[in-house]
Structure 1
Amino acid sequence: MTLDPTDQHLRHVEKDVLIPKVMRKKAWERCSEQAQDFTRCCKDSGLVTVVKCQKENSALKDCLTSYYKDTASYEECRMEYLKEREEFRITVIPSRKRLQKLPTSM
């Protein structure tokens, strides 16, 4: 059975697991400033983190949630996933292996 590299059909696991995984990664990149603020607050607060960092935690959750609910963001991640899947089906090499640098000397 050969797979068409340009096939746009998504399996259940791709819709519910793999594309949301791409979305989570992008959301954390997009919300990195809020994540850094929350991390900094947690480090400075110690045991009273729950009380002291509510504002930073809310800002981070709001940023992440807005990205997850944005249909344009989902579509962007879906297209990125489909592109990676197409490249994999053509080359049969996972993207992480394709992106690794080859040694310059043997």
Structure 2
Amino acid sequence: LSTEFRQHSKLRHVEKDVLIPQIMRERAKELCSDKVQAFTKCCQETGFLMVVKCQQENTALKDCLVGYYSDPLFYEECKAEYLKQREEYRATGIKKKRQTLTSNV
């Protein structure tokens, strides 16, 4: 790898621990949108009893999200997305918002 590429791909603490995980959370919510919707619907329908009544939906949602959070390939994809966004910002000075897969998440 070229020295220039290595310099551009170095990550600060805030990038590794805050910004990339933020992208991971956003993307995981999109990828688990069916489970997010099921849990949300259950909570809306049961009100105060959601703690008891929505355990199955909550477990399915957690399992889906944690599956992505603990996947090293998913981390690398999100890191690559972050680096691309950072490079575009450095080149243009314009921060672009992420495109979401679904509009209701």
State the TM bucket, normalised to the shorter chain: 0.7 to 0.9
User: 5 Å matches for 1:1-106?
Assistant: 7-96=8-97
CA distance in 1: counterparts of 2:76 and 2:12, whole angstroms: 16
**What 5-or-longer segments of structure 1 have no aligned partner?**
100-106
Aligned to 1:102: none
Which secondary structure does the structure 2 equivalent of 1:95 belong to?
coil
**What 5-or-longer segments of structure 2 have no aligned partner?**
100-105
What's the Cα RMSD here? 1.7
Structure with higher Rg: it is 1
CA distance in 2: counterparts of 1:40 and 1:7, whole angstroms: 43
Provide runs of 4+ in structure 1 moved above 4 Å. Answer: none
Compute the TM-score of the two structures, normalised by the length of structure 2.
0.84
Report the Cα offset of residue 50 of structure 1.
Answer: 0.5
Report the Cα offset of residue 44 of structure 1.
Answer: 1.1
Compute the TM-score of the two structures, normalised by the length of structure 1.
0.83
- 1:40-78 deviation line (CA, Å, top 9, x unaligned): 111111221110000000000000000000001000000
Query: In the comparison of the two structures, how many residue pairs are matched?
Result: 94
* Sequence identity percentage: 56
